[in-house]
Structure 1
Amino acid sequence: MKWWQKAVFYQIYPRSFADGNGDGIGDLAGMISRLDYLKDLGVDAIWLSPHYPSPQVDCGYDVADYTAVAPEYGTLDEFRCFLDGLHERGMYLILDLVLNHTSDQHPWFIESRSSKTNPKRDWYVWHPGQKHGPPNNWLSAFGGSAWEFDETTGEYYYHYFFKEQPDLNWHHPDVRNAMWDSVRFWLDMGVDGFRLDAVGTIFEDPSLPDHKAGVTQDDLYRMDRLAQTAAEHARVARLW
């Protein structure tokens, strides 16, 4: 068995785990101060919830920079210290990797929404809509339409989660390459792996078919299945 198949994992939500500087917000300094405690618990590996810069609309799952540490949590040097401390104690670290979407404050989306001709326009899922309305009747997992009208260019963008979390267009090779670069950044630092957040929702059916009538609240949490074809599911498996 591989280490991750038999390890005891402990999830850390950075904002609330341990405050090292007394400002009322958990941080890397606090995590570092608890390394021996975690080892004594019998923990083999840490699953670190998003530690990236974020507007915190969705508890950090709205990422504004994939290769940095949120300033309220500390610095990259402190992250390296935390990682080294885990490894010195024989523990592993996996990070939350938010694949499906970014924050609407991410530089990629800021560029994408700036004009229809921006090179990053197609990094997200845009559509002009139809009959003065959204492209179809797809719903967000958090309620309401999955399409948000953007006045800057007069088009709609797709968001499976909150409107502040626009979906990346994984059909675009530059998006895939940018995400691979983010993965390599952390792997090169010594991180041991990732928890792939919302990996099942990264592709949308390009034909954008309407959902059948009578969608329930329970269906909202399975919309990823309705928005993808079998071929798209297969692509996810091949990628990851």
Structure 2
Amino acid sequence: MTKPAYIAITQHTKNSKPALVYVPTRKHAGLTALDLCAYSSVEGGVAPFLLGSEDEMDAFTRGVQDETLKNTLKCGVGYLHQGLSELDQELVTNLFLSGRIQVCVASSTMCWGRLLPVHLVVVMGTQYYDGRENARKDYRIADLLQMMGHANRPLQDNSGKCVILCHAPRKEYYKRFLYEAFPVESNLHHFLHDRMNAEVVAGVVENKQDAVDYLTWTFMYRRLTKNPNYYNLQGVSHRHLSDHLSELVETVLNDQVWADFR
């Protein structure tokens, strides 16, 4: 996907605006940086992503430990992953933020590690290989949001852009995720024993009626009638709600009594 990524960078980063490319692994980071350098030298002339002078870059890269990184930096492309030394990571970050290089490639886990505000974010694939389960998995939505969030430069850009390269079957899912709100449900009923025990200790709940009243103050109570099947609610009338809450409280209190007895 390096060719589409290179095209996205050249199309969406006019006036040499910074671009951040996310790849699944540290191995992909170095390989993608080399490929971007190759495409830029063939199609864009001599190091179009290098925004500083060559002599200046020679001075900066003199102490770089990673030889591949040293070569890509001279083309205006840096990369970040956990395998680099701390000094190399700091150098790449500073060169990128100071506007001496235009493109930075980062492994997906680095999205939480460094503050890199850019005009364009390119996500090269939305899956990674999980060695513990020997399977490919999709990025978590939180990780994808964090990646996209880097396309934001307050006081410098009026807008940011993100290009997500993914498999065709996932395209509609991500479009729906971006343009439609997902419902948020409560998990209180899965942890109600701990929560109720804490409220009893705090003195908020002293009897069964207090426990039922406490549940009516929660987010779970607001969602019961909105998505009754998720909470195993048989109906949405006041009677059904009352019986459901009473049953929850009875179950929790009985379990607590048996636990204390044992």
Q: Same fold (TM over 0.5)?
A: no
Bigger Rg over Cα: 2
Query: What TM-score do you get using the length of structure 2 for normalisation?
Result: 0.29
Query: What TM-score do you get using the length of structure 1 for normalisation?
Result: 0.30
Higher helix content, 1 or 2: 2
